[in-house]
Amino acid sequence: MLKTNFKNSITKSFYDKFSSFSDTKNYLFIGKVTEWEDDTIPPVSVDSLNEELNAWKNMLACKRINADDVAFVIKKINWNYNTVYQQYDDILDLFSETTPLQFYVLTSENNVYKCIFNNNRAPSQYEPYGTGLEEIITQDGYIWKYMYSVRPELEDFVTEEYIPVEFLDELSYTDQRYLQLDVQQDAKINKNGSISNIVVTQIGAPYSFAIDYDTIEVDGSIAHLVQLNVVAGTSSIKFNTNTNISRMDNVYNDNYVVYIYSGPGSGQVRTIISYNGTTGVAVVDQPFTENISTSSYYKILPKIEIIGNGTGVVAVPVINPLTKQIDHISVLNGGLNYKEAIATVKTTKTLNSEKTLVRVIISPFNGHGSNPLIELGCKNLMIKTKFIKNIENLNFYNDYRQVGLIQNISILGEEEQEQTYAIDIENINSTTSMVLQGNYQQFVGILQQNPDLIVKQGSDNNISQARGSFLSFNEQTKTLILRTINGKFSAFPASTVYPMVIENWPIDGSDTTFDDISIINTSPLNYYNDFTFLPNETILGETSKSTAEIVNWTPKFFGTDGTLVIKKLKGTLIESYYNDSGQLINGENIISFSSVNTNSGIQGFSNSKVGVIKNLYRTQVQEGLNTFRATTVITIVRPAGIDTPFTKTDFSEDDGIKQLTTNAEATVVGWSVSDNGTIGTLMVSGTFNSFQTNTNLGYKLQKLINGAYSTQDAVITQIILPQVIKYSGKIIYIKNIRPVVRGDDQEEEIKLIIGF
């Protein structure tokens, strides 16, 4: 069995072939102007050498596929009113080829949600909405998890059958992708190995002693209010004995919990270990951690006991108001790090048939939303590109019947536009030396013991605020050296206006201010400036050993960051990214140097010419410059002594032509005539043998008419060879299609689905 994970891995590997930094150049080709035996039912392409050779022979044009022409796609499942959606379940084959399950939806707002709970297979009647981190509960009882939004830039990849899906590994995004990145990071950090659902597999006997707000019979608006305030740290609670609560002592012991579900202290669940039926006072197993007031509502419910290798899960049952049986389980907190878990509903019943049986459903590795590619079963790529009619050398009107993918073709006499890239880099060597006075001992001591802490100057928290981390301190000279993260530290007397601050110390989210430290003087070192990196210098990736040539340099953020524009990239530079576990992996260091060698070695290197790659992205290449002709262009004239002008009807699309003497043959793709009719231009494909330029009458052209060749008054004066060198690349995909007719100024967008 090939798991979807394996297919997903292959899909990602193939996707990487289209990266701007891949050594593989991919093209989409079109071809085949002659008819199929039945144009309405094209034959299925055969994986044979003959099929490949014919594809080369009939090829019309190749279009370079850029990285933004490719997207991961999954099956499109629209949310529709009154439809039952499959809830996520860890024992189901969610991605079956034969019976795929509808466990996620695309909504009218172009948001994608995963169904966590379908309210016991009830029809969905409320479309989910919202882009927050927490699960969304709609009025029909469904629970949904927001996964991502289809951003406008990818809407071209939405079809009747597919929608695009992304996994984000950049450090930040300025568009709506930040919503998905937040979900990914929250899942990995706060919901890794959580229990997403607990399903009832056998409905047992009624729990007649359970007290649920929805099942009370007396004074419904106030009956289940807590009777006395409970202070945090207290391990007992008083219930209202004037309701249908049991009057029997210890009836709730160990098998029931009290759940504060509304009002102050809501969300707390505690096991009842003793109960006084006369006073309504229950003692619980652990103290309450938040105050509970007399405006807090409670439920008394059967205890869900969960044993597993994670921590923190909290779940309570929902009681059917008519039968008093457990209807389903509500997971209040999914906990963390569960890979194994067993849940039991506590009861005094001894017969198995009377017990309520449940099964735990564990979320995907790293939590729901951590990786939509894997969670939604992505195993397809969509490749889309446009063939624009009016660009040079593709001005033909013929139809075509074949599309495919080809790699690493050679281009004759024409180079593609050189690709450039932009690199955002961080200065890893910018430092500030500062001499301290005042009461600095505690401040320095904290930094020496915790060198990863961040130091700030001033109380503002904006992008220009000076920030750094500890490098060293010289007790003799009282000199502190900080590695600058951004901004510039300045000399300043002890002050509450620009104090020194240690961020997130002593606890996360709590800063400590030191306003009795004076900075006598500062010396910024190795800051970026306009001349740190120069055009035509070479950069080297320290880890990947990739090289490139600098085109432009723009420093920013007070010399601690900047952007390089590069060209002639050889290899793949490594940028910063988040891995599958949500861990930040720093990009590689780059070094810039002059390409001129001297006896003393490489010129121009200094500490300031070093940086760590934060982001790397491909710059835009103008549309249409990456399309290459695979047809031959033939210029013809009348032989000497014949003045009859050419007309538009002399040749037609799909005509067969042949040259006398050489016996070269081809199929006409396009035919055009000069204004005065003295020159004709044929564009041909399917060439067999080689045409020659020769005005000798023995080299006249022939045209196939009714199955026989008829000699025409036309000789060849010029031949322009195809830009695509035949057989120079590797064809990896062929699809036979019904004819696509090209009209005036037509633009065709082709979309291919590649599945594994």
pLDDT at position 599, please? Answer: 44
Q: Cβ(537)–Cβ(488) under 8 Å?
A: no
Domain boundary, last residue among 705, 720, 735? 720
Question: Band of the pLDDT at 704, cuts 50, 70, 90?
Answer: very high
Average pLDDT of the residues in 658-687: 93
Beta-sheet pairing, 70-75 with 380-388 = antiparallel
Residues 274 and 340 in one domain: yes
Query: Is pLDDT at 604 greater than 50 in this prediction?
Result: no
Q: Output the furthest CA–CA distance in the chain (Å, rounded).
A: 125
Identify whether the C-beta of residue 266 lies closer than 8 Å to the C-beta of residue 222.
no
Nearest to 170 by CA among 699, 575, 655: 575
Position 1 confidence tier, pLDDT thresholds 50, 70, 90: low
108 falls in which pLDDT band (50, 70, 90)?
very high
Beta strands in 366-429 (DSSP E): 380-388, 400-407, 420-426
SS3 521: strand
What is the domain range of residue 589?
421-425+529-618
Instruction: Give the pLDDT score at 478.
Output: 94
Residue 204 to residue 304: CA distance in whole angstroms:
14
Position with higher pLDDT, 288 vs 509: 288
pLDDT at 459 over 70: no
Among 4-8, 242-246, 303-307, 576-580, where is mean pLDDT lowest?
576-580
- d(C-alpha 726, C-alpha 245), whole Å: 86
pLDDT band of residue 657 (cuts 50, 70, 90) is very high
- pLDDT attached to residue 606: 53
- Rounded to an integer, the average pLDDT of 701-719 is 94
Tell me: do 505 and 572 sit in the same domain. Answer: no
Would you say residue 465 has pLDDT above 80? no
Measured between alpha carbons, how far is 89 from 563 in angstroms, rounded to an integer?
Answer: 46
| Distance from C-alpha of 149 to C-alpha of 158, rounded to nearest angstrom | 12
- Determine which helix (DSSP H) or strand (DSSP E) holds 683, and give its type and residue range: strand 680-688
Supply 613's token pair: 């790659």
Q: What is the pLDDT of residue 216?
A: 47
Q: Are residues 438 and 517 in the same domain?
A: yes
My answer on whether 555 and 582 are in the same domain is: yes
Q: According to the model, what pLDDT value does residue 342 have? A: 96
Nearest by Cα to 348 from 482, 250, 233: 250
> What pLDDT band is residue 621 in, cutting at 50, 70 and 90?
low
Q: Which residues, in sequence order, are bridge partners of residue 385? A: 750
Mean pLDDT of 501-522: 88
Tell me: pLDDT of 597 over 50: no
State whether 613 and 639 are in the same domain: no
- Is-contact 14 7, C-beta < 8 A? no
Sign of the C-alpha dihedral, residues 589, 594, 600, 606?
negative
Residue 135, pLDDT score: 94
Q: How far is CA 575 from CA 66, 208, 423, in A?
A: 20, 61, 9
User: What value does the mean pLDDT of the chain take?
Assistant: 88
Q: Are residues 203 and 297 in the same domain?
A: yes
Rounded-to-integer distance, Cα 436 and Cα 491, Å = 9
DSSP letters for 575-643: PPEE-TTS-EE---EEEEE-S-EETTEESS--GGGEEEEEEEEEPPPPTTTTEEE-SEEEEEEPPTT--
Residue 681 has pLDDT above 90, yes or no: yes
For residue 45, name the pLDDT band (cuts at 50, 70, 90): very high
User: Is 719 a residue whose pLDDT tops 60?
Assistant: yes
pLDDT tens, 350-407? 898 999 999 999 999 889 999 999 999 999 999 998 877 654 455 566 889 999 999 9
341 three-state secondary structure: strand
Is 58 a residue whose pLDDT tops 90?
yes
Least confident of 176-190, 394-408, 591-605, 704-718: 591-605
CA distances 506 to 457, 595, 645, 673, Å, are 17, 49, 92, 83
Q: How far is CA 307 from the centre of its chain?
A: 35
Task: State the total domains in the chain.
Answer: 5
413 pLDDT tier (thresholds 50, 70, 90): low
Helix, strand, or coil here: 680? strand
Cα distances from 512 to residues 150, 455, 754, in angstroms, run 42, 10, 56
Which pLDDT score is estimated for 414? 57
221 shares its domain with 290:
yes
**58 occurs within a structural domain:** no
Residue 126 lies in a domain: yes
For residue 605, the model assigns a pLDDT of: 47
739: in domain: no
pLDDT at site 112: 98
Q: What is the pLDDT of residue 497?
A: 77
Asked whether 593 and 549 are in contact (CB, 8 A), the reply is no
| Cβ-contact 211, 282 below 8 angstroms | no
Within this chain, do residues 247 and 357 fall inside the same structural domain, yes or no? yes
* DSSP 8-state assignment for residue 177: H
Are residues 536 and 496 both part of a single domain? no
Residue 546 forms part of a structural domain: yes
Contact 292, 237 (CB under 8 A): yes
User: What is the share, in percent, of the chain residues with pLDDT greater than 90?
Assistant: 61
Residue 341: predicted pLDDT: 95
Is residue 271 pLDDT above 70, yes or no?
yes
Query: Across residues 703-714, what is the average pLDDT?
Result: 93
* Residue 104, beta-bridge partner list: 114
Distance between CA atoms of 533 and 422, rounded to whole angstroms? 14
What is the C-alpha separation between 246 and 296, in angstroms, rounded?
20
CA 266: distance to chain centroid?
Answer: 37
The verdict on residue 149 lying in a domain is yes
Q: Please check the confidence at residue 739 and state whether its pLDDT lies above 50.
A: yes
The contacts of residue 301 (CB under 8 Å, 6+ apart) are 207, 210, 211, 212, 256, 257, 259, 316, 317, 319
What are 212's two structure tokens?
């649920």
Instruction: Using the 3D structure, point to which of 193, 210, 242 is the last residue of a domain.
Output: 193
Q: Is residue 606 part of a domain?
A: yes
SS3 446: helix
Q: Please indicate, yes or no, whether residues 244 and 138 belong to a single structural domain of this protein.
A: no
| pLDDT for the residue numbered 600 | 41
In a domain, 17, yes or no: no
Instruction: Dump pLDDT digits (tens) for 741-752.
Output: 876 666 778 899
Specify the higher pLDDT residue, 442 or 743.
Answer: 442
Min mean pLDDT across 20-24, 103-107, 248-252, 672-676 is at 20-24
The answer on 456 and 319 residing in a single domain is no
The owner of tokens 């009747």 is 160
CATH number of residue 686's parent domain: 2.40.30
225 and 333 both lie in a single domain: yes
Q: Is residue 414 part of a domain?
A: no
Query: pLDDT, tens digit, for every residue of 9-36?
Result: 888 889 888 887 787 889 999 999 999 9
* Domain termination residue (choose one: 618, 650, 685): 618
DSSP for 277-323, written as a single string: TTTTEEEESS--SS-B-TT-EEEEEE-EEEEESSEEEEEEEEE-TTT
Cβ-based neighbour number of residue 338 at 10 Å: 22
Q: Which residue, among 504, 441, 495, 435, has the nearest Cα to 467 in the 3D structure?
A: 504
